[in-house]
Amino acid sequence: MLKNWIHRNVDEREYLDYHRKAVKEYQQHWEVIARELEWFSPWTKVVEETDKAHVFKWFVGGTTNISYLALDRHAKTWRRHKLAFIWEGEPVDEQGRPKEVRKFTYYDLWREVNRVAYAMRTKLGLKRGDRIAIYLPMIPELPIFMLAAARLGVIFTVIFSGFTAENIANRVNDLNASLIVTADGVYRRGKILRLKEIVDESLKFTPSVQRVVVVRRLGGELSLTQRDVTLDELLKGVPPNTYVDPERMESNEVLYVLYTSGTTGRPKGMIHDHGGYATLLHATMKWVFDARDDDVYFCTADIGWVTGHSYIVFGPLIEGLTSVMYEGTLDFPAPDRWWSIVERYGVTILYTSPTAVRTLMKFGDDLVKKHDLSTLRIIHSVGEPINPSAWRWLFEVVGGSRAPVGSTWWMTETGGIMISYLPGLMLVPMKPGSNGYPLPGIDVDVLDESGNPVKPGERGYLVIRNPWPGMPAAPTGVWGDHERYVKTYWSKYKDLFYAGDYAVKDSDGYIWVAGRADEVMKVSGHRIGTYELESVLVAHRAVSEAAVIGVPDEVKGEVPIAYVVLKTGNQPSEEMRKELVDWIRKNYGPIATPRALFFVNKLPKTRSGKIMRRLMRSVATNSPLGDTTTLEDASSVEEVRTAYEEFV
């Protein structure tokens, strides 16, 4: 455990008392937060269950609009001239400086959103309740279209711009969307990716789509059909000071549908609303990020994932923060692009992911240290458990042992952060790899198979006991599939939200989420988390990334096998293999001795960067791969397959 090295002394017991109270009186608790936002008209009821089981409504009858909360509220105050976004394109000049930077004040952004909303309504005929898909890269038009749709009450789904035509078609068809917004292309790792062509391909399978709006990111030739219209064309004649009254949205009306990462199976289209969702974002921006007016905030996710929805677009804007938005990849032109961004804009809050951290660690500390990162005051990560070695690197090398580093646990379903260190409320001693405490009002527990809380330090399943604003919203939680919603989250335990992750609550009440519920091996009766072994492996000086799976074994029940990616400058060898196996034996115990350890160049990951252990397990058990639509790179599975087949 790290000492309380920071300015505020905290009494954890005090927090836990406060937490207990906030859980018990969770309705009043959330009501206080919701009142800090602006409502066009008040709610009549804080929370109620709908006629669809386990679907709750928050702030019933209250009306607001998240685009109003994110923009109008600030454009009316001194923040009108504050920067909302500093956007940086990927291409650089000979000196390595960004070729394009676009800055938007809250006023600029508000104006642009109004113009786009106006054009959407008058020229495309979109109205409240209509559905559109947004397949845009990380350019300012992406948040602009999200906010414009929200303003009109048009339901949107954002499709990550690295996805294929098949992914687009699946999502567009699930939502029955009438329009796709896309761009001619995008710069990614120095190359051009032609997005419009991918959309054209998807259109063969999407009968519901009537129009396609194209944002010109690249310029140059573009073949358009009758169905297509460029954004420039659309905005022609729309005056700069156009104003569109934001729709008075009942708190529970659908804001967007977003599909989960697909790590464990076919993606689920989660619904989020206006009022409850905004309330959770407001609370978490304050407690988790300690958002202040002089902050410069940088979330490195892609807006195509929920992290980007909540913590690049809506959360920071609701708080009136200045955010950096970056178009490209972390290693272009060199793997210090992010550090250069932090230095140049004086970033104070950094929100990133373990997969990125492991990738960047691979290149050594010098690339970080050559930049002045002294402005950083808070660092968090999200997406997977953070291996203690990756945590230490973030804390010591990136944060200079000054900034608290957290691992915020949440999921697409929860809308916002549920478990985290809370530097905006209090600072507790940090434990590398832990998630910290559940947020005020969030009643998290760790249960055994029969639903009893496990003892401190024991492994169990993570559940949330009471409803929270920002949870999967009406009408059905999962878009068009209430049954799947109930089956996935509410069937394992009666009336408890089952997250599908396993976790430990330690004797201080800290939560340690350690992976997917189905990723625990049982080796000779001992339960071993695949992630725990991976953390042991990545703590080795030569290892960059590791994935461990359990395979059936006649004697032991299950045994681990490991896949390892080495850091730059290390070569696979029999010696290295032996060294790593010994390393596991020494640092975890002989019980976890892997049956095999393979060196690969790349692990199978989702496009959001999560290790897809289920695919490796399918290869090892010779069973069908299942849904691979969110797989980042099919060659990674082939590599795993070849390695495994050569072994058996």
Distance, in Å, from the CA atom of 600 to the CA atom of 194, rounded to the nearest integer, reads: 30
385 near ligand ATP, rule: CB under 6 A: yes
- Nearest 5°: the CA angle 46, 270, 40 is 35
Q: Which of 251, 348, 412, 618 binds ligand ATP (CB under 6 A)?
A: 412
- Residue 605 interacting with ligand ATP (CB under 6 A): no
Please report whether residue 517 would count as binding ligand ATP according to CB under 6 A.
no
Q: Which is nearer to ligand ATP, 251 or 352 (CB)?
A: 352
Q: Which of 446, 588, 468, 591 is nearest to 514 (CA)?
A: 446
As a whole number of angstroms, the distance between CA 369 and CA 594 comes to 36
β-strand partners of 478: 270
Dihedral through CA 246, CA 159, CA 381, CA 488, nearest 10? 100
Q: Does 408 bind ligand ATP (CB under 6 A)?
A: yes
- Kindly indicate which of the ranges 27-35, 44-52, 112-120, 379-387 contains the residues binding ligand ATP, using the contact rule CB under 6 A: 379-387
Q: Select 587 or 629, whichever has its Cβ closest to ligand ATP.
A: 629
Q: Which CB atom, from 498 or from 583, has the smaller least distance to ligand ATP?
A: 498
Residue window 270-309: x/- pattern of binding to Mg ion, with contact defined by CB under 5 A: ----------------------------------------
Give me the residue label for tokens 């309330």.
Answer: 279
77-81: long-range contacts, CB 8 A cutoff, minimum separation 24: 79/106, 79/293, 79/320, 80/105, 80/106, 80/107, 81/105, 81/106, 81/107
Q: For residues 247 and 384, which CB has a smaller minimum distance to ligand ATP in the complex? A: 384
Q: Kindly state the smallest distance separating residue 413's Cβ from ligand ATP, in Å.
A: 6
Residue 239 burial (10 A CB sphere; 0-12, 13-18, 19+): exposed
Q: Are 44 and 250 in contact (CB under 8 A)?
A: no
CA distance 26 to 374: 38
User: Would you state the torsion angle of the CA atoms of residues 524, 529, 530, 536, taken in this order, to the nearest 10 degrees?
Assistant: -100
Which member of 143, 153, 276, 383 binds ligand ATP (CB under 6 A)?
383
> Which pair of structure tokens corresponds to residue 610?
């999560």
Cα(321)–Cα(291) distance, integer angstroms: 7
Q: Which of 136, 257, 301, 499 binds ligand ATP (CB under 6 A)?
A: 499
174 binds ligand ATP (CB under 6 A): no
The least distance separating Mg ion from the CB of residue 411, rounded to whole angstroms, comes to 5
Complex with ligand ATP: residue 153 or 262, whichever CB lies closer: 262
- What track of x and - describes contact with Mg ion for positions 244 through 273 (by CB under 5 A)? ----------------x-------------
Q: How far is the CB of 518 from ligand ATP (least distance, A)?
A: 10
| Shortest Cβ 263–ligand ATP spacing (Å) | 3
Q: Which is nearer to ligand ATP, 265 or 457 (CB)?
A: 265
By CB under 6 A, the residues from 227 to 266 that bind ligand ATP are 260-265
300 binds ligand ATP (CB under 6 A): no
499 binds, among Mg ion, ligand ATP, none (CB under 5 to 8 A by kind): ligand ATP
385 binds, among Mg ion, ligand ATP, none (CB under 5 to 8 A by kind): ligand ATP
User: Strand (E) positions, 353-393?
Assistant: 378-381
Cβ density class 404-418: b for 16+ within 10 Å, e for less: bbbbbbbbbbbbbbb
Residues numbered 529-558 forming contacts with ligand ATP, rule: CB under 6 A: none
- Cβ atoms of 90 and 328 within 8 Å: the answer is yes
Using CB under 6 A as the binding rule, whether residue 105 contacts ligand ATP is answered as no
Residue written as token pair 């350019």: 139
Q: Contact at 8 Å (CB) between 269 and 174?
A: yes
Least distance from C-beta 258 to ligand ATP, angstroms?
9
Residues at the site binding ligand ATP, with contacts judged by CB under 6 A: 260-265, 267, 306, 382-385, 407-409, 411-412, 435, 499-501, 513, 516, 608, 610
Residues at the site binding Mg ion, with contacts judged by CB under 5 A: 260
